[in-house]
Amino acid sequence: MTEEIITTVEGPVGRIRLNRPKAIHALTTAMCEGVLDALEAWRGDDAVRVIAIDHAQGRGFCAGGDIRMLADSGARDGAEARAFFHTEYRMNHRLFTYAKDTVAFMDGITMGGGVGLSQPCRYRVATQNTRLAMPETGIGLFPDVGGGWYLSRLPGRIGQYLALTGARIDGAECLALGLATHYLPSDALDEAKAGLADGVAVLDRLAVAPPPAAILDRREAIDRLFASDVLEEVFAALEADGGDFARETLATLKTKSPQTMKVSLRLLKDGAGMASFADEMRQEYAVGSRVVQRHDFLEGVRAVIVDKDHAPRWDPASPEGVSDHVIDQIFAPLPEAEAWTPA
């Protein structure tokens, strides 16, 4: 069996390489455990000064998590899904608090769990191939792995727009929004990875000016149309606008789960005020452990991944049908014995 994660040490560089190319390196529990084990081993090794995270061959850095497993588990008792979230969030938190330099190479598709793996890193390299998104509302999930923290800290209401629509942004847009620290042409990545042996200054040396960030041209419209934390008010603003962007965006939102769009807005509102990343992870774990067993997630996975008819039947089918009481239940803290804890 091929190793799903390859960890090596080359001089002062600890290297973590995701190796599930057929699944665009979607994360499994074992992969998250492997990352955690490597980070723990290198934490006290003075010879290792920088950690590099990239992917083996294929068209993306990481497409997310093992969604089919999560749905299969959610349809039963949810225990395997909770174990995955618990381990993945420990990995996210360990990277967020890691003392040594960490570098993620976000070349190609970087979605869901790939965002969670890259964003805690001190240095985040985008290329012309980068396509970053948090598309979870399309399968009845929400932007987890720290999405409530990262998206709520983007300029204006861009985070809310990305969370609800699942829109993909490119490498130039990642740099402009602060989701990437460097923009490199993909043909410079091998040189950059090798050059890390002499320190992270190689990233500055090889960085180039990106093309214009198209999302900034829509900043005014996004801030205005997504100004509210109430989903019904976002829909109303889009309906009242009449412009092409508003009309296309409203059509997109009508394909997403109303329940998890409301979850996402609440997550970002709460996340903006979180005192620590650990607090964010604790809340997301409570939310995730419930959402993964609800109808919309199981139905979203059926429609997008299993049957591929792309016609999910959300329940409730409209924003008005999702009560504040249901959202409060989803966000209720877990009992202390069941709550998420850092590694």
Q: What is the separation, in whole angstroms, between the first and last Cα of the chain?
A: 28
Q: Which domains does the chain possess?
A: 1-343 (3.90.226.10)
Catalytic residue among 58, 60, 64, 65: 65
Give me the mean pLDDT over the 54-65 stretch: 92
Higher pLDDT, 149 or 305: 149
Cα 175 to Cα 183: distance, rounded to the nearest angstrom: 7
pLDDT at 2 over 90: no
Predicted local confidence at residue 214, as pLDDT: 97
pTM confidence score: 0.97
Does the annotation mark 65 as catalytic? yes
- The answer to whether the CB of 173 falls within 8 A of the CB of 214 is yes
Mean pLDDT, rounded, of the chain: 97
pLDDT at 189 over 90: yes
Catalytic residue among 54, 66, 107, 144: 144
Give me the mean pLDDT over the 109-137 stretch: 98
Catalytic residue among 66, 88, 107, 136: 136
Predicted local confidence at residue 1, as pLDDT: 52
Predicted local confidence at residue 59, as pLDDT: 84
Does the annotation mark 136 as catalytic? yes
- Over the stretch 27-39, which tens digit does the pLDDT of each residue have? 999 999 999 999 9
Percent of the chain topping pLDDT 90: 97
Q: Which are the contacts of 150, defined by CB distance < 8 A and separation ≥ 6?
A: 115, 119, 159, 179
- Over the stretch 223-262, which tens digit does the pLDDT of each residue have? 999 999 999 999 999 999 989 999 999 999 999 999 999 9
Angle at CA of residue 91, ends 85 and 92, nearest 5°: 85
